[in-house]
Structure 1
Amino acid sequence: MADSPVQKALVLLKCLAGYGEPIGVKRLAEDTGLNISTVHRLLRLLAEERMVSFDPQTRLYGIGADCIRFAISVLGGDSLAARVRPVIAELARTLQETCAYSVYEPDGFTKAIAAVERGPNPLGYNFDVGRRDGIHAGASGKAILAFLPDADIETMFKTVPLEVTAENTIVDPDALRRDIAEIRARGYATSLGERVPGAGFGIGAPVYGPDGRVVGSVVVTVPLFRWKKKNLGWMSKAVMDCGRVLSGIAAATASNGAGE
């Protein structure tokens, strides 16, 4: 039995990682043998540090974006990093532009960049691993937002201030609802000057977990001076295909973790 707070926190993280899906406090307490009040307290602390995520709708906890980011940074072999990076790298080679994978943080309706691969062009868009943004703006964020349950979307509108970060940021809920409907219909999100003024044109697609819930997104961003509208068709297909591959990786990773 773990004695120190650090040991107990690590026990919780190991337990969460093994499930492969969000879990409630009661089950965590039962499976770890920790007091339920201790589990509550440690989960709150871990959530503050983004090591675990909390979904206010389901009241379930999962591995957080910063925990995933650390894993992607340091793990090798058959790890998530080894599986995600080659897929993102192949997309970057295919599209000749910078591509990134972000993980969804349901507790704050945010997403964090977990993996980045640059294209071959010396002048391209830069992403900082670990950067956190709201999901109401930009192709990577809206690719997550659009495929959340309607109840979650309405909760975001009621509880999260929609920050204006660039000239084309959409902060009107009705306008966002219309944009969401279009994204759902075509299967991918686009953005132009929503996150960073004049930075580029983005195309994003959702990534799903084994339970069918959106867990992240993949995005490509093309500098405005290189963007051509005629490329939208084949580039969006490539991004969506990548999203499906990453969804398969998420399911396989969860399955492998649950079987250990």
Structure 2
Amino acid sequence: MLLYEHPLSSYAQKVKIALREKGVAFTAELPESFGTGRTDGPFAAANPRTEVPVLIDDEAAIFDSTVILEYIEDRWPEPPLLPRTPAARAFARLTEDVCDTQYEAVNWGFGEILWFRRATGALAERLRARAAAQTAVLQDWLAGRLGAADWFGGEDFGWADGAVAPMLNRSVHYGLGPPPGSPLARWHARVRERPSVAATFAEFDAAAARMAEAADLYTTGGRRREYRDHRLEWMVKSGGVEVVLAGLRDGNIRFPWPEGETP
């Protein structure tokens, strides 16, 4: 079992959490061509989008983190991560969808400023402030879904918990975590003690500590950050159009496959 991944990818983290919850052994590999947009080699052959994660199980090559989670649940049904009732399953999937779209985009945008220095001065401050305000809104929404329960599915850890964990943990890493002592903060403290999550977060922490070294690759053109769907939307609506224009000019951002000619 091979998993193409990056330890900082929230999408890859939720897949690793699921595999570890199921007790499925896997080898994690950072593709050599990751971030380059190259279309050659086994990584691009497995996923033309050249995005992580990608799960290789014998002849099956599955990409898109949600599709991978569905595959994992079908392939190894025990212990189940999805709840049994249709309404509860929809609740879990909707929680994941908001995390994968709106929440991931905010975290990604904050990282563009913090790690990759896409903006400085007043613009950077405005973008950070927008990310902080949006993070608070998203955490309020998640807190409402959690309620007084231990887990997002109620009594048991499940699908939604694995999806929320990487997103909220990144906010905590950024200093944008939920209020201390709040139910959501207590959930984070609880979830990070779970072995599957603790191992995944330890890999995140180790990679995050090296981001200062890697950041130059993404601003000089050695690697290009992918400005996809919700991420591009976040940068535009939050006032960072000039960041996008600078990335196009300098050739250090990219768009999803099939990528057109850069103006």
TM-score by length of 2: 0.28
TM-score by length of 1: 0.28
More helix by share: 2
Higher RCO (CA < 8 A, seq sep 6+) = 2
More strand by share: 1
